[in-house]
């Protein structure tokens, strides 16, 4: 499949409605099915579910909140890197398969798929798909961050 940054997040971030900051609650859920074809045009988590996204159902699993979000501007690479603490989903029962991770903005005080806004979908990271074995599921982000926005072409003005 493919990793996707959702258009609605990009629009809301550019308008400063929501962003990768301490005022925005960003959560992560694990995907437990391989029938989802990601579309950058999905506006809500519910739209992703309607398109085949299946959240993992397993003993020990619960969604996690992203903590210590920061943005690093790397001028040498002409890119912006989105960083956060690594995620620990805890010990998840054996025999389940994790196919991807969906990051989303929690709009209200509780998760609400009809309102929550997808940010990023990852299904091509190292170790995915991953078979659970009863041990803790740790998601370690690369040194370059969870996602990177890079200037495509430099132009002279």
Residue range 31-80, pLDDT digits in tens: 999 999 999 999 999 999 999 999 999 999 999 999 999 999 999 988 89
In a domain, 99, yes or no: yes
In a domain, 155, yes or no: no
First CA to last CA distance, the chain: 38
**pLDDT of 111 higher than 80:** yes
Can you give the residue range of the structural domain that contains 78?
4-150
List Cα–Cα distances, 157 to 75, 154, in angstroms: 18, 10
In the chain, the percentage of residues whose pLDDT exceeds 70 is: 96
In a domain, 27, yes or no: yes
In a domain, 10, yes or no: yes
How many beta carbons lie within 10 A of that of residue 124, not counting itself? 10
What b/e sequence results for 44-73 when a residue is b if at least 16 CB atoms lie within 10 Å of its CB, and e otherwise? Answer: bbbbbbeeebebbebeebeebebeebeeee
In a domain, 38, yes or no: yes
Tokens of 79: 């890119």
**Distance in angstroms (rounded) separating the CA atoms of residues 104 and 122:** 12
Q: Is the model more confident about 157 or about 81?
A: 81
pLDDT (0 to 100) of residue 157? 59
Report whether 103 contacts 28 (CB < 8 A): yes
Report whether 53 contacts 88 (CB < 8 A): no
pTM, two decimal places: 0.92
Three-state SS at 129: coil
Q: What is the pLDDT of residues 117-136, one digit of tens each?
A: 999 999 988 789 999 999 99
Number of domains the chain is built from: 1
In a domain, 156, yes or no: no
Tokens of 53: 């996204």
């Amino acid at each position: 499949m493919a990793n996707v940054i959702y258009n609605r997040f990009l629009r809301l971030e550019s308008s400063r409605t929501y962003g990768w900051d301490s005022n925005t609650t960003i959560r992560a859920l694990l995907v437990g099915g391989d029938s989802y074809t990601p579309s950058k045009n999905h506006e809500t988590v519910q739209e992703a579910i309607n398109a085949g996204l299946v959240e993992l159902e397993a003993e020990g699993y619960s969604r996690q909140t992203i903590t210590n979000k920061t943005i690093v501007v790397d001028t040498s690479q002409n890119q912006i890197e989105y960083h956060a603490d690594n995620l620990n989903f805890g010990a998840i029962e054996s025999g389940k398969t994790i196919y991807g991770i969906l990051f989303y903005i929690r709009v209200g005080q509780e998760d609400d798929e009809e309102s929550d806004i997808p940010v990023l979908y990852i299904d091509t990271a190292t170790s995915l798909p991953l078979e659970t074995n009863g041990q803790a599921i740790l998601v370690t982000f690369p040194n370059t961050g969870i996602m990177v926005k890079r200037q495509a072409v430099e132009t002279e003005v």
